[in-house]
């Protein structure tokens, strides 16, 4: 889920971030024109595998390449597989 407040986008990741769902980050990336900061809340993420982690790091690298700042809130993961 994303919400935009001026130049800031709040991104909330929920459920699982894996091979099947990481493409959602590409959709978010496409809608970031005029954004200065992406604030990502990962507290509702219940699972992330290696492909999800790779997708997330690629997302952050693309943000940095566009000059968009990244801020993240995390909670301990019950399981990383």
* One-letter-per-residue 3-state SS of the chain: CEEEECCEEEEEEEEEECCCCCHHHHHHHHCCCCCCEEEEEEEEEEEECHHHHHHHHHHHHHHHHCCCEEEEECCCCCCEC
pLDDT at 46: 86
pLDDT at 77: 58
pTM reported for the whole predicted model: 0.83
pLDDT at 73: 86
pLDDT at 26: 86
pLDDT at 50: 93
Low-confidence residues of the chain: pLDDT under 50? none
């Amino acid at each position: 889920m994303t919400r935009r407040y001026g130049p800031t986008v709040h991104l909330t990741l929920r459920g699982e971030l894996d091979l099947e769902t990481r493409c959602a980050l590409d959709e978010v990336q496409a809608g970031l024109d005029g954004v200065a900061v992406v604030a990502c809340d990962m507290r509702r993420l219940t699972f992330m595998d290696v492909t999800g982690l790779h997708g997330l790091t690629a997302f952050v690298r693309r943000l940095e390449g566009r000059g968009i700042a990244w801020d993240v809130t995390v909670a301990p993961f019950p399981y990383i597989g």
